[in-house]
Amino acid sequence: MEIIIEPLLTEFDENILHNLAHDVSREFEHIRVRASSVATDTVVSSLKKDGVFQSSFDTRRNQWNSPKLLDSFYEKFKPEKDKIVLLILDVDAYSDGLNFVLGEALPKAGLGVVYLPRIKEEFYGQKPNDKLFYDRIVKECVHELGHLFNFNHCPNTLCVMHFSKSLSDTDVKGKSFCDRCRMK
């Protein structure tokens, strides 16, 4: 089993990607976690050519429709049975019944995504805070990977699987699974 963290349409420093893979791997001890810094130009070009981004963008909301994006990404990436792909995108997205999502997962497809804009302080008119931003990325990656391993939301506000209704919920919860979730 392998987890691949793949930034798409966004750039990350090589050291940040290495640290992210390392920090995420702490929660998935017996699974190899690697972050890919290789730009998937052919995938991006293909998605643009196929109109995926245009058809997934809601101009009234000025946001991308996460389920549509995930379906399109699945068609392009089709993770192998023993691989899980977690994409990181710097786009604002929503899902059915929600004003926004920080991430979303398709467990049966082995594919998830974390959206960056709303975990950045700049989105709220604040000064950038690299440490806080990084902590939020780790939490959201572990959370979405938890869903990819069929974990549900947890009522424990300190568990990484707790549902974030707001960014303050994300900041309160930890980067780890609670004891109950870990036993799963």
**What contacts 175, CB < 8 A, 6 or more positions away?**
23, 26, 27, 135, 138, 139, 142, 160
- Give per-residue pLDDT as tens, 120-170: 999 999 999 999 999 999 999 999 999 999 999 999 999 999 999 999 999
The DSSP call for residue 63 is E
Is 112 in contact with 144 (CB distance < 8 Å)? Answer: yes
Q: Tell the residue number behind the tokens 């806080």, with chain if given.
A: 132
| pLDDT for residue 42 is more than 70 | no
In this predicted structure, the answer to whether residue 11 has a pLDDT above a threshold of 70 is yes
Active-site residue among 6, 27, 140, 144?
144
> Which residues constitute the domain of residue 118?
2-183
Q: What's the pLDDT band for 15 if we cut at 50, 70, 90? A: confident
pLDDT digits (tens, 9 = 90+) for 75-134: 777 778 899 999 999 999 999 999 999 999 999 899 999 999 999 999 999 999 999 999
- Tokens for 176? 């780890």
| Contact assessment for residue 101 and residue 64, using Cβ atoms and an 8 Å cutoff | no
Domain holding 174: CATH number?
3.40.390.10
* Strand partners for 2: 32, 83
Please tell me the total count of domains within the chain.
Answer: 1
Does the annotation mark 144 as catalytic?
yes
